[in-house]
Structure 1
Amino acid sequence: MTRRRTPRTLTTAAALAAVLTLALSSCGQGSGGSATSDESSGGSSSPVVAFVPKLQGVPYFEAMNSGGKAACEELGCTWKYQGPVEADAAAQADIVRSFIQQKVDVLFVAPNDPDSMAPLLKEAADAGIEVGTTDTDAPSSVREVFVNQATAQGLGQQLTDSMVEAMGGKGKYAIVSCGETAENLNSWIAVQKEYTASKYPDVQITDIVYAGEDQARATQMATDLMNADPTLTGLVGECTSSAPGVAQAVQDAGKTGTVFTVGLGTPKSMAPYLTAGSSSASILWNVANLGYLTAWAGTKLAGGEDFAATNEVSADLSDVAYDSGAKMLLLGPPLIITKDNVADFDY
């Protein structure tokens, strides 16, 4: 990668910890569209890495926050974290503008709306801030790196395989997604549609609906889908709020074992449903490690350093691949969480 500026001096810790210990932080739901930010202590020479999630206060992004803070404590950066309390692109944009005004060194965003975020990322870059995306990409923006949890192909195919396996190889399923403009969710859905049609001739996707980042709304939408089509045998919850939402709908309807669900839910939120059988599998990744990798990438950007084709990030994150053409760091393959291993995770 080509850097625009002279590398900054980084303060580094003596060594990376062998195991990343996750401690979910609680966050206040304040007024004004955002909650307070968190930051680790750091000297004046430590780069400030800011992360703006789609939504603050949900277990998924709080796990990313914990991973980012842990990384900065070890690497010598200062971590700032702030997001909207609703998955709203305008509220997210206000927080991005605030970080630009603060003149942070590095700014990472998981954009609710990639197209509307792109001009703000350019504004940040023009102000001398290194910019990147994480969790969700803005591929048409000036972002210098995308920290990707898994490939769209890998996630879309695994969601489909797990759904079809639970359904017994045939039937109809619907998808309850979240934001209509979320680039990552839409890329996974595109893979699911193509893969289902090409590999599973006895399976049909009947509908795709959008619940925002609202679990209760996802439950209601899943209920409506089952009521509208009594022959429906599967539901996919495309994000960490809709995955428990669709499982709850099946449980409420008394259709456990008749209508099957899979999704992208955090382990603790999915544990009751996996145990009860209203969810068959959660397809995810180590969310804390995604936050850790984001902070690590921020220190590399701040230092003007290039990413290697394969990166040794920490004891838990060895062999992290970098695609120079796509400017993408890849956390790794999807993680399949079932009733048998869900207790192994603490977030």
Structure 2
Amino acid sequence: MRLPRRLAVIAAVACLVLSGCGAEPPAEPPAKSIEIAFVPKVQSIAYFDAMNGGGLRAADVLGVRWTYRGPLTADAAEQAAIVREFVARGVNVIVVAPNDPESIAPVVAEAKAKGIRVLTTDTDAPNSGRELFVNQASAESIGRALTDELMRKTGGTGQYAIVSCGPTAANLNAWIAVQKAYTAQNYAGAQIVDIVHVGEDQNAAAAKAKELMAAHPELNGLVGECTTSAPGVAKAVREAGRIGQVFTVGVGTPQTMKEYLRDGSASASVLWDVENLGYLTAWAAKQAADGKVPEPLNNVSPELPAVRYNGADKTLVLGDPLLITNDNVDQFDY
């Protein structure tokens, strides 16, 4: 039997009000996922791949998306173009390790104009307008450690040269400035005879190191200032048959340095936990996306329970440098 029209209308209204007619209440729309884009100096070298691994691990814990893409060589223009692609895509946060702190500044401004948060990591661009810098260790501590480790092998005397990578890389240049001043102040018998730049190219570093040994017959030390030149200078010493005569230290990842630490063509690598640097980078990016400023002391993870933040220069510091030698190199899988 059909209900009178008026009763049918009343029943329908009651059904909607009480939600008792089998229909589920409308679901809340899903929260938008935060996307963090990491743009390294160079993609697919061991160092930045290890940083990427730490970032992915953090992204899984933090519930964010992490994207990794950089130039194939240390090319500032190509890096800027990649950042612009992420700006056009509308990611939430861009974290860049700039090849050139000056040329990245206009791109940072473009991103900020679109409401995208921009951080730097590994190397800074302090005048770019970036929101925060995730630093691996202080320039002073890295420069001193490189110098002290080399001087420990040379007896604090002799001539040494530095084989660096990108000539505009702010972090490398800051370390070199410390090495120059620290050597002059603390090792009167030692002298830096040359500083050269070879880009992020291990073979170019090896070739240049051989040229330096030929040009300076009294040379007894080489410093590889980045993770491609560190194994490069050690390879040159090995191939030149100068192990035990020319000592090398550098900023190299454990597995790329392992064979050279084993045979003595490299004495030590001054580094930090690269995977933890990637983790801290992702954590800082999530903080920025949430509109949060780090505390002076931050419990980031069980491995990073006390990360310091300096509000004056907006810098998070991972910690002290890590010395990698033949004795502990097997503790690291990157």
Q: CA deviation at 1:192?
A: 0.2
Report the residue type matching 1:256 in the other structure: I
**1: CA distance, partners of 2:33 / 2:319:** 28
Please give the residue correspondences for 1:322-337 in structure 2 after superposition, counting only pairs within 5 Å: 322-337=309-324
Q: CA deviation at 1:91?
A: 0.7
The SS at the match of 1:153 is helix
Is 1:290 the counterpart of 2:285? The answer is: no
Is 1:103 the counterpart of 2:95? The answer is: no
Report the residue type matching 1:210 in the other structure: H
**1: CA distance, partners of 2:67 / 2:114:** 18
Report the residue type matching 2:223 in the other structure: V
Which of 293, 302, 308 in structure 2 is aligned with 1:315?
302
Report the residue type matching 2:220 in the other structure: T
Structure 1 gaps of 5+ residues are: 1-42
Q: CA deviation at 1:44?
A: 4.8
Which of 227, 250, 253 in structure 2 is aligned with 1:266?
253
Is 1:243 the counterpart of 2:242? The answer is: no
Q: CA deviation at 1:46?
A: 2.4
The SS at the match of 2:102 is helix
Is 1:228 the counterpart of 2:219? The answer is: no
Is 1:160 the counterpart of 2:166? The answer is: no
Q: CA deviation at 1:86?
A: 1.0
Q: CA deviation at 1:319?
A: 0.4
Report the residue type matching 1:277 in the other structure: G
Structure 1 runs (4+) greater than 6 angstroms displaced: none
**2: CA distance, partners of 1:124 / 1:231:** 50
Is 1:178 the counterpart of 2:165? The answer is: yes
Please give the residue correspondences for 1:26-105 in structure 2 after superposition, counting only pairs within 5 Å: 44-105=31-92
The SS at the match of 1:146 is strand
* Deviations, residues 56-89 of structure 1 (Å, cap 9, x unaligned): 0101000001110110011001101100111101
- Find the counterpart in structure 2 of residue 125 from structure 1: 112
Q: CA deviation at 1:168?
A: 1.4
Which of 228, 240, 253 in structure 2 is aligned with 1:253?
240
The SS at the match of 2:244 is coil
* Deviations, residues 194-238 of structure 1 (Å, cap 9, x unaligned): 000001100100000001000000000000000011100000000
- Find the counterpart in structure 1 of residue 263 from structure 2: 276
**2: CA distance, partners of 1:88 / 1:305:** 32
**1: CA distance, partners of 2:206 / 2:232:** 4
Which of 125, 140, 149 in structure 1 is aligned with 2:136?
149
**2: CA distance, partners of 1:162 / 1:285:** 15
The SS at the match of 1:104 is coil
Please give the residue correspondences for 1:173-212 in structure 2 after superposition, counting only pairs within 5 Å: 173-212=160-199
Report the residue type matching 1:131 in the other structure: V
Q: CA deviation at 1:111?
A: 0.4
The SS at the match of 1:233 is strand
Report the residue type matching 1:54 in the other structure: K
**1: CA distance, partners of 2:77 / 2:135:** 24
Which of 202, 217, 236 in structure 1 is aligned with 2:204?
217
**1: CA distance, partners of 2:71 / 2:128:** 21
The SS at the match of 1:213 is coil
Look at both structures and tell me which one has the larger radius of gyration over its CA atoms.
2
Q: Which structure has more helix as a fraction of its residues?
A: 2
The SS at the match of 1:116 is coil
**1: CA distance, partners of 2:239 / 2:70:** 32
**2: CA distance, partners of 1:201 / 1:314:** 43
Report the residue type matching 1:282 in the other structure: S
Structure 2 gaps of 5+ residues are: 1-29
The SS at the match of 1:74 is helix
**1: CA distance, partners of 2:173 / 2:231:** 19
The SS at the match of 2:103 is helix
**2: CA distance, partners of 1:128 / 1:185:** 31
Report the residue type matching 1:243 in the other structure: A
- Percent identity of paired positions between Structure 1 and Structure 2: 58
- Find the counterpart in structure 1 of residue 24 from structure 2: none
Q: CA deviation at 1:318?
A: 1.0
**2: CA distance, partners of 1:193 / 1:128:** 41
